[in-house]
Structure 1
Amino acid sequence: MSGGLSAGASARLIGMLGLATAVAGFFALLLLAPLSPGRSAPSRDTATIHLGVASCSGSTCHGRSEADGRIVRQDELMRWQEPSSPSGAHSRAFRVLSEPRGRAIAQRLGLKSAASAPMCLGCHADPVAPSLRGPRFQIGDGVGCESCHGGAKNWISSHYAVGATHQGNIAAGLYPLTNPRARAEKCLDCHFGSDRPGQFVSHRIMAAGHPRVSFELDLFSTLQQHHDEDADYVRRKGRIGNVRMWAVGQAAALERALSLYADARLGQDGLFPEFYFFDCHSCHRRISDEADYRTTALANPGRPIPSGMPPFNDENMIMLSAAARAAAPALADRLEADSRAFHAALATDRPTAIRAAQRLRTTANALADSFAANEFGRAQTFAIIDAVASTASAQRYTDYEGAVQAVMATDTLLNGLVNAGQVAPASAAAIRGDINRAYAAVRDPNAFRPLEFRAALSSASSAIGRLR
């Protein structure tokens, strides 16, 4: 992959252009050893000075206009600032707060300005404390280099020194984005939410106009990638396959959702549960008093809950179930049982639901550890694609959220086969139309038709299956 977009990423972007708005809207798009069960990677450094984007922008560093560096591209800042590409979304994150949509959301929330509101700056900028901002730090830089790589004061010199190693830089404070679980924790802070100030998009914020937040680690990483994974990169940092990144991201997303739901400050909103955690379009449906009106809701066998009760958003549970059946069969039945028990517990009371959430979190962590240590060969990847579109999974695509994850997963897994040299690029390109028809089926969240989507996904999966 390159600092622009690789052939694989460009193909995926064709399908994603229409979906990106629905999935992320103005919310900016944003070594291999697994962590021990139940332990999260650090998400944000809290005691290191952030020097600011300008400290990385020299022409001998990352500020060149061409990717002609001997070891790294050195045009990373230009890619970060690209005005019309998803690769520049992080640099645009602060600016959108002052655009018409950002101003309208701030007005509805009673904020003087989104550009100065802590509830917005937690994700649309680098919200490091003022005492930790270096002289070149600018809040208006948006999601800058150190938002993801960590405060640079202690490693900015060593990371380009002769003889420096990646592990040495990590020891000095560079955030370990090459660890899939650590990367997932970092990205989830803004692309799903955290318990830190300004990093949780509540239902009230969405009601004011903020789009639904969704997360798929490998796809978002691809769209933001500014480096080449050449032989030198692999020698210094190793390589994480697309499928492993996707699978770890799914497990980490579920663990994060459950941990935030269990937080008493976030899981409740007055008399009601915090609806952010629930499946948006299970409630946001057309309502009619006509005698011949037919409900658009379909029964979901994975969610044993009473009719009319809002279901917990299970998009990551469905993907995890597919991945577990193919790559961690010893945990698959446990995940299925814990998922169903959690949904059922929501109809009892909050304490029962919290206990069930903890059991499911433990299983999600076990899956994250298993996936982080798995190389995901060709046969396993094809098996996951089959599982995503299988009858067992398809019956659970009753709402838009799960369907979006299924499309992104299918594309991610195909891209992983291509990048691993297990499917020829030309063969993948030949079935691009099937993938794009599946994307078209989720282009409009308010016009989602489950049965049509299932047919489109099945067609895409069958086309990929013929590449075996």
Structure 2
Amino acid sequence: MLTLHRLLGGLLAVALLHAPPVIAAEPEMPWNAPEQHIGVATCAGSNCHGSQQAFDDSPVLQNEYFTWQRKDAHSNAYNLLLTDASKRIAANLGIGKAEEAEACLTCHSDYVPEAKRGRRYSLSEGVGCEACHGGAENWLGPHVTGNTHAENVADGLYPLADPVNRARLCLNCHMGSDDKPIDHRIMGAGHPPLEFELDTFTNIQPPHFRVDADYRQRKPYEDNAVTWAIGQLIATEQLIRGIRSDRFKAGGMFPELVFFDCNACHHPMRPPRWNAGAGGPLGPGEVRLADAYMVMSGHVIDALVPDLSEQWDSALASLHLASRRSVPEVQQRAQALAGLVDTALDRMRDTGISRQQALALMDALARSGIERDAADFTAAKQIFYGLEALLAFLRQQDAALGKALNAPMDGLFSAVDAQVDYNPDAMRDGLRRMRRVIADVRAG
């Protein structure tokens, strides 16, 4: 079975040039920015982004609209609200029609206040251009007449090329936020579980851009390994924001359960019914916070900012232990982790990931899965995504290494692809094979 990134061969053939990430002040999210959203149709002209074929002599492909319309699941997001499954979820929640409910539209469309909706704007377009690139009221005209990318950003274009900003935007819907709240009640009503990994999700989205010399000249660009590392830190940042917000303590006797690990409660009843999983110091019967991103961030910090590693491990253990006691203490402990994320991101501005660091990270992910984390399905998927991103980076330098690791990666894909039939022992077997190959490569 082919692994996920290998299905994306064309997109993964990208340059090795590393440019430091631009981690500036957070831009306003497209739905909060003041610019009016004027509709997908304004981008779809045949001389703009509406060509049916890519242009070879243009700095952009110019067929972006058709790629989005025909291949990108974002364009179908609103239509999903018309399905029987969505009708059942809406009925369970008692919110009327899914296609009219703000709780659904906020992520299944480019949902902005009516005052920001231009003449050609339509909710039914789903997650269209401006949902990610920002309201085009001020930047579309100058963009058409030849403004630079930096000038477009200054006019309100959201800077998606920066992986830090891209992760912060995507996670609003793929994890939930104060702007786009997602709670356990929605999951209990039947909504599918949410997951995210920046490099994988960037690559499985049908590419409507071409990373070439011109692209790298105009925009920041990061390789697979750095994009994965940044994505884990930003996902941790977003989770901590949620824990520290009023959403965490909004509901009755219990904290908001969407911040806890689904698999701590939802797991097969066949033996073994409990194991430590990714839950750190917690024992049987203690529901653990959803810490898969935090565990992955710990590996990133250990490899790239090692002097913070001991502080991170201690702060994460303290956060878990605080969940035994009180909401205020959990929120206080989360603050300590937030400071470490900020420091790690700041320190990563001027560093890339070397071949040896990538191999060390792969070995650390595999080892953690064997010793503990593969017991938890959510953590196992993040381990797989991380290994794929790091391997995609290494393949650009060493095709033979990629070939040697293909078989173990195929086994890991089969394990996580099993979903409800996930078998942690099969995952661990694949990780052991992975470690043996990595050990041979590092020794050679």
TM-score normalised by structure 1 residue count: 0.86
1:58 is aligned to: 45
Q: Distance in 2 between matches of 1:338 and 1:393?
A: 23
Return the offset for 1:73.
Answer: 0.7
Contact 2:242 2:248 in 1 (8 A): yes
- The secondary structure found in structure 1 opposite 2:430 is helix
Q: Tell me the CA shift for residue 464 of structure 1.
A: 5.3
Corresponding residue number in structure 2 for 1:385? 362
Contact 1:103–1:113 (8 Å) recurs in 2: yes
Kindly indicate whether residue 98 of structure 2 is the aligned counterpart of residue 114 of structure 1: yes
SS in 1 for 2:167: helix
Looking at structure 1, the residues matched to 250 and 132 of structure 2 have their Cα atoms a distance apart, in angstroms, of 30
Q: Which residue of 2 aligns with 1:405?
A: 382
Note if contact 2:278-2:379 (Cα within 8 Å) is conserved in structure 1: no
- Give the corresponding residue for 1:251: 233
Aligned match of 1:423: 398
What is the letter of the counterpart of residue 352 of structure 2? Answer: E
2:126 is aligned to 142
Number of residues of Structure 1 aligned to a counterpart in Structure 2: 429
CA distance in 1, matches of 2:118, 2:403: 47
Corresponding position of 1:290: none
Indicate conservation of the 8 Å contact 1:63/1:75, yes or no: yes
For 1:221, the equivalent position in structure 2 comes to: 202
Aligned pairs for 1:150-299 within 5 A: 150-162=134-146, 164-196=147-179, 199-224=180-205, 225-287=207-269, 294-299=271-276
RMSD of aligned Cα (Å) = 2.3
Q: 1:46, CA displacement in angstroms? A: 2.4
AA of the residue aligned to 1:222: N
Q: Shift in Å at residue 265 of structure 1?
A: 3.1
Show the counterpart of 1:432. Answer: 406
What one-letter code is carried by the residue in structure 2 that aligns with 1:168?
A: E
Does residue 1:129 correspond to 2:116, yes or no?
A: no
Report if the CA contact (8 A) 1:41-1:185 is conserved. Answer: no
Counterparts of 2:290 and 2:217, CA distance in 1: 40
- Native 8 Å contact 1:388 1:394 kept in 2: no
Residues 53 and 63, structure 2, Cα contact 8 Å, conserved in 1: yes
Q: Distance in 2 between matches of 1:365 and 1:203?
A: 28
1:37-92 CA-partner distances (Å, limit 9, x unpaired): xx644333421011111000011111111112522111111111225xxxx11101
Aligned in 2, Cα 1:275/1:463: closer, same or farther, shift over 3 Å? same
Relative to structure 1, the CA distance from residue 206 to residue 75 in structure 2 (aligned partners, 3 Å threshold; closer, same or farther) is same
Q: Determine which of 19, 29, 47 is the counterpart of 1:43.
A: 29
1:17 maps to none
Unmatched tracts of structure 2, length 5 or more = 12-18
Q: Is the 8 A contact 2:64 2:208 kept in 1?
A: yes
The 1:279–1:265 alpha-carbon spacing in structure 2 relative to 1, beyond 3 Å, is closer
Q: CA deviation at 1:10?
A: 2.0
**Conserved? CA contact 1:262–1:354, under 8 Å:** yes
Tell me the CA shift for residue 427 of structure 1: 5.1
Residue correspondence of structure 1 range 88-103 to structure 2 within 5 A: 88-103=72-87
**Distance 1:393-1:434 versus aligned 2 partners, 3 A rule:** closer
TM-score by length of 2: 0.90
Q: Could you tell me which residue of structure 2 aligns to residue 445 of structure 1? A: 419
Q: Note closer, same or farther for the CA distance 1:113–1:68 as it changes in structure 2 (3 Å cut).
A: same
Q: Counterpart of 2:432?
A: 458
Q: For residues 139 and 254 of structure 1, what CA distance do their matches in structure 2 show?
A: 31
- For 2:304, the equivalent position in structure 1 comes to 327
Look up the match of 1:20. none
CA distance in 1, matches of 2:154, 2:278: 47
Q: CA deviation at 1:357?
A: 0.8
Q: CA deviation at 1:463?
A: 3.8
The C-alpha deviation readout for 1:84-118, integer Å capped at 9, x for no partner, is xxxx1110111111112111111111122111100
Q: Distance in 1 between matches of 2:368 and 2:387?
A: 15
Q: How far apart, CA to CA, are the structure 2 residues paired with 1:404 and 1:453?
A: 10
CA distance in 2, matches of 1:146, 1:435: 36
**Which residue does 1:22 correspond to in 2?**
none
Pair 1:302–1:278, CA change in 2 (3 A): closer
Structure 1 residue 218: Cα displacement: 1.0
Tell me how far apart the structure 2 counterparts of residues 285 and 301 of structure 1 sit (CA, whole Å): 14
Percent identity over the alignment?
Answer: 34
User: Given the superposition, is the C-alpha separation of residues 301 and 48 from structure 1 closer, same or farther in structure 2, using an over 3 Å criterion?
Assistant: closer
Secondary structure, counterpart of 1:121 in structure 2: helix
Residues 377, 343 of structure 1: alpha-carbon distance in 2 compared, 3 angstrom cutoff: same
The one-letter code sitting in structure 2 at the alignment partner of 1:270 is G
Shift of 1:7: 8.1
Note if 1:10 corresponds to 2:8: yes
Structure 1: distance between partners of 2:325 and 2:233: 25
**2:351 equivalent in structure 1:** 374
Show the counterpart of 1:23: none
Distance in 2, matches of 1:193 and 1:42, equals 16
Matched to 1:318, the amino acid is: V
CA contact (8 A) 2:369 2:431 kept: no
Cα offset, 1:169, TM superposition: 1.0
Name stretches of at least 5 consecutive residues in structure 1 with no aligned partner. Answer: 1-5, 14-30, 288-292
2:55 is matched with 68
Question: What is the CA distance between 1:269 and its match in structure 2?
Answer: 2.0
